[in-house]
Structure 1
Amino acid sequence: MPPRIRSPPRGVLAGIKKDAERAKIDRITGDDSRGHGAAWSHNFLNQKPWHPLSYRNQRDKFMAEEKARKDAEANKQAQFEFEREQEFFRNAELMGDRERERVTNRQALSFMYQKPPGYEAMLEKQKEEQAAKQREEAAALKAEQGAPPEEGEGEQAPEKKKMLRDKFGHLVPTAEMFPALKNAPKHESAGDDARVQPFGVEIRMVKCRRCGQWGHNGTDRECPMRDQNPNDEFRQRLEDPLNLMRARADLAKADKLQMKYIPGNSPVRGG
C-alpha cells in the first residue's frame, strides 16, 4: 500500500500561493535569488512533499509537460499523414479505372521509398561524429606544425572557473584576480560579493588577452607583454626558408604513386 501523503496544515495555503506567484515572476524576470525579499518567510516548506515547489513535484510537472508535448507532436504528425492520405484517395476517385489502379498500386509500395524511423537522427549523429573527428585532426595537424591552439580547442584545455557575481550579474573582484585585495578588511555584515576599493589602487574589471592578468588591456602600458605578439614564434616557423627547404626535400624523398597488380583481378587496360 503506497504511503499516504498528508495534506498541508491550516495557514500555509496562502503562503504556498504567494510562493508559486513569486516563482512565476522569477521565471519571467530571470531572477533566481531564492529567499531574498520573499513575501512568505517560511521558504523551508518547499521541501515538503505537498508543496508545489518541491523538487519531486517540479520533476513530475516537467515530465508531464514533456509527455504532453511529445503526444501533441505525435498526434499532429498522425493527423497530417491521415489528411494527406485522404487527399490522395479523393484525387484518385477523379481518375479513370486504369490510371486509378496504377496510382493505387504505386501508393501501396510507397513505404519502400520512405525513410525508416530514426534515419534522420542517425544522420545527425554521423554528422556530429564526423565534425568532431575533423576538429581533432585539425588540432593534431596544428600541434604538429607548432601552431598555437585556439581558445577552447583541445582536450587538455583547462576548465573555466565560475566567476563570482553579485545579484545584478556583475563580476566581483577577488583576491585571485587582484593580489592587492588579499587580506583586505571587510565589515562583519559584508558578504562575499562586497566590492573593496583599496586606497591608491585602481580596480578595473578587464582581463588582458596577452598576459592573462586582470586590471589592464593588452595595449596598456602596465602590460608586461605589450610589445610582444604571442603568434610571433608560429609566424617565424611558417616564414623560415629552411623549414620550406626541408619540407620540399621530404616531399621529394616520399614514395611516388605507382599502379600495382593484384593477383586474381583483371589486368589494367593498356598496361
Structure 2
Amino acid sequence: MNDFNMNNFSLEGKVALVTGASYGIGYAIASGLAKAGATIIFNDINEELVDKGINAYKADGIDAKGYVCDVTDEDAVQALVKKIEEEVGVIDILVNNAGIIKRIPMIEMTAADFRKVIDVDLNAPFIVSKAVIPSMIKKGHGKIINICSMMSELGRETVSAYASAKGGLKMLTKNICAEYGESNIQCNGIGPGYIETPQTAPLRVEGNPFNDFIISKTPAARWGTTNDLIGPTVFLASDASNFVNGHILYVDGGILASIGKQPEA
C-alpha cells in the first residue's frame, strides 16, 4: 500500500541550521524552509550581519534565531551546535551555504588566497557537518544539504580556487552519503546556476556582454531567481527525499545539459 501524502514535504517540528544566511541565497533558502514549517537558525561572521539577518527575517514574519560564528573555526562550531541543541533542539536539517569567491587568475593568485577559499567553501562544510552528525545519528534521522555550484562540474577563468572547493564539496557530499546513509542521514547538494542577487545586478544589465553570454548559454533563456532554489531545498530537506542520497541537484536552467546556442550567421 502506498502511504505517501503531501505531508511528506512538511518541515513542521524540524530545526534547520543554514550557515551564512543573513542575506542572498542563504536567506532565501532559510525563508523557504521556514514557510514549510521549519524553525530557522542561522549564523554569520559578525554581529552586524546577524542583526541585519534577524531584522530581515522579522520583516518577513519569520522568527529566526541568529548566532555569530566563524564556520572555519572547529571549536567555535562545536560550541555553536551545543548551544543550539540546548536552546532550540537537535538540528534536523543542515544547509551548508556559507561561502566566498575570489576572482583572480590562477597564476596571479597567492596560495594564501587559494587556501582561504578552500577553508570557507570546503573545510567549513566538513566542520559543521561533523558537528551535527553525532546527534543526527542518535535521533535516527538527518538531512544535510551542501550548496555546491556548476563549478562542481565546470572550470572557468579566474575561479580555480572556487571550482576546486566546490568540486571537493561535491565529493564530500557523496562521501557523507556513503559513510552515514545507514544511519538514515541523507546528504545531497544543490548546484545553483547563475542567480539574480544584488551581487550579480551589475552583470545583468541588458547589453552587458556577460549577461548576453549567460542568456545564450541557458536553455531557459534567463537568470535564475532565489525563489527557484526554494522548492529543491524543501524537497531535499523533507521526508519526500528519504531515498535520495549523494545526489547533486543542479538548479541551472539547463546550462549543464547544453553546449549553448549556435551563433547566428
**Scaled by the length of structure 2, what TM-score is found?**
0.19
Structure with more helix by fraction = 2
Larger radius of gyration between Structure 1 and Structure 2:
1
TM-score, normalising length: structure 1: 0.19
